[in-house]
A = this chain, B = another copy of it.
Amino acid sequence: MYAIIYIIGIFLRYAIIVSMRFSKTFVKTLREAPKDETAKNGALLTRAGYIHKEMAGVYDYLPLGLRVLENIKTIIREELNKIGCEEVLMSSLQNPEPWEKTGRFSDQEVDIWFKTELSSGGTLGLAPTHEEPITELLKSYISSYRDLPLYVYQFQTKFRNELRAKSGILRGREFLMKDLYSFHTSEEDLNRFYAEVEKAYGRIFERLGIGDLTFETFASGGIFSKYSHEFQTLLPVGEDTVYYNADKSVVLNKEVLNPEVLTDLGVSREDLEENTAAEVGNIFKLKFKYSEPLGLKYIDEKNAQKTVYMGCYGIGVSRLMGVIAERFADNKGLVWPESVAPFKYYLVGIGENGNRVAEEFYAEHKTETFFDDRDSRPGEKFADADLIGLPYRLVISDKTLAENSAELTNRQTGESKLIKLSEI
């Protein structure tokens, strides 16, 4: 018993209790999305009060939206910590120096830089990704083979100066990404960890509720590897085109649909079906691409200086929120998987008794419940419940109380049943 209380104590240090009553939150559902919001995810998330558009590709996250982002981050963080990754937070402002060594500070080479001038002189960039600074940073901490392997990740805002950004939060000029970088003494060790990340990504997309829609996809590998892998979620509005065979054991990006690759993978064009998809993650064997120009070396067992092998592994966190919103929404509104939903229950009390018992339920289940305590008609509340898309609507009324129950409606299936209050 003491052990349990002790454990609760530990968790309390990290647990933030956020309670949410509709009447108290500043967010309201909107009848219409802004006229310039053409993407379904952007329009629905705005109408349901999750996000607010600042400009094309730049959004604010309102209380419900921030909870979804945090839930996605928590799942990713748990799976990465399990395989030994360490979390850091790197800066957005970028010194050009390491980027100049790899040639990537040039606007010709990387055409989505936001750049700015330091008042004390000199140009800075806003990080569109972090390979160069993490490689440079690790030079302070890697010297011997004993320091390797290392796996370092962060959740950080990325800035990309996209010419067009019309896909809601699927393609942002400012967006949240998880980027992981790994450092190894050998290609075998890089391959071993790469396979671990593949599995971790599988678990992440499974837990996010898009496991059966998300496929590891062969894509072009760049200079050092024949292939990289993308994780593509089938999505009608996805910007990518993927080809897969019936059992989906081989999936490839259109960019590598050529005879050589088909031979490599042992499939023929006729076996492949075309679909659109959104890239939610990608993993790359970088090998020496950044460690060589930036001079990230280590001393091996025989006292010889060697170059560090690297891999990088991204997940688009805010994009995932958009993909999940877009993919599961129906004509009534959003439909969140339980693992990412901002709350589990959308609670409605009808009538005096219904509202009294709803208040009692809310007091006991605050962390899981969004309480629609507004002075509105039930029909309006039900419409907002559908729009906001929490997994379960819970209605307490005289009718349900006659059976000591509440009506529980599954947002996804629409099925309702009475459930004893004591059983929730």
Binding site for B on A (CB under 8 A): 4-5, 7-8, 10-18, 24-28, 30, 52, 54-55, 58-63, 66, 69, 71, 74, 77-78, 81, 84, 86-95, 111-112, 114-120, 124, 126, 133, 137-138, 140-142, 147, 150, 152, 157, 159, 161-164, 173-174, 367-368
CB-CB nearest 6 A-B residue pairs: A11-B11, A61-B89, A11-B15, A114-B116, A26-B150, A60-B90
* Majority secondary structure, A binding face: mixed
B78 contacts A61, C-beta separation under 8 Å: no
One of B26, B30, B159, B368 near A152 (C-beta < 8 A): B26
B27 contacts A161, C-beta separation under 8 Å: no
A141 contacts B27, C-beta separation under 8 Å: yes
B52 contacts A140, C-beta separation under 8 Å: yes
Nearest CB of chain B from residue A63's CB, rounded to whole Å: 5
Nearest CB of chain B from residue A114's CB, rounded to whole Å: 4
A120 contacts B89, C-beta separation under 8 Å: no
How many copies of this chain does the complex contain? 2
B60 contacts A16, C-beta separation under 8 Å: no
Which residue of chain B is the closest to A28 with respect to CB atoms? B141
B89 contacts A16, C-beta separation under 8 Å: no
17 sampled A-B residue pairs with Cβ under 8 A: A4-B4, A4-B8, A8-B8, A8-B11, A11-B14, A18-B87, A24-B84, A27-B141, A52-B137, A54-B133, A58-B93, A60-B88, A92-B92, A92-B174, A119-B163, A120-B163, A157-B157
A88 contacts B63, C-beta separation under 8 Å: yes
- A163 vs B111: C-alpha distance when bound (angstroms): 29
Nearest CB of chain B from residue A17's CB, rounded to whole Å: 7
Nearest CB of chain B from residue A382's CB, rounded to whole Å: 22
- A52 vs B62: C-alpha distance when bound (angstroms): 32
A91 contacts B58, C-beta separation under 8 Å: yes
Which residue of chain B is the closest to A24 with respect to CB atoms? B84
Which residue of chain B is the closest to A89 with respect to CB atoms? B61
One of B60, B87, B147 near A63 (C-beta < 8 A): B87
Residues on B with C-beta less than 8 A from A55 are 93, 95
B66 contacts A88, C-beta separation under 8 Å: yes
Residues on B with C-beta less than 8 A from A17 are 81
B93 contacts A173, C-beta separation under 8 Å: yes
Residues on B with C-beta less than 8 A from A163 are 119-120
Residues on B with C-beta less than 8 A from A18 are 81, 87
Residues on B with C-beta less than 8 A from A25 are 86
Residues on B with C-beta less than 8 A from A62 are 88
Residues on B with C-beta less than 8 A from A150 are 26
- A88 vs B20: C-alpha distance when bound (angstroms): 13
Which residue of chain B is the closest to A107 with respect to CB atoms? B119
- A140 vs B94: C-alpha distance when bound (angstroms): 35
One of B61, B71, B89 near A88 (C-beta < 8 A): B61
Nearest CB of chain B from residue A11's CB, rounded to whole Å: 4
One of B14, B24, B52 near A15 (C-beta < 8 A): B14
Residues on B with C-beta less than 8 A from A66 are 87-89
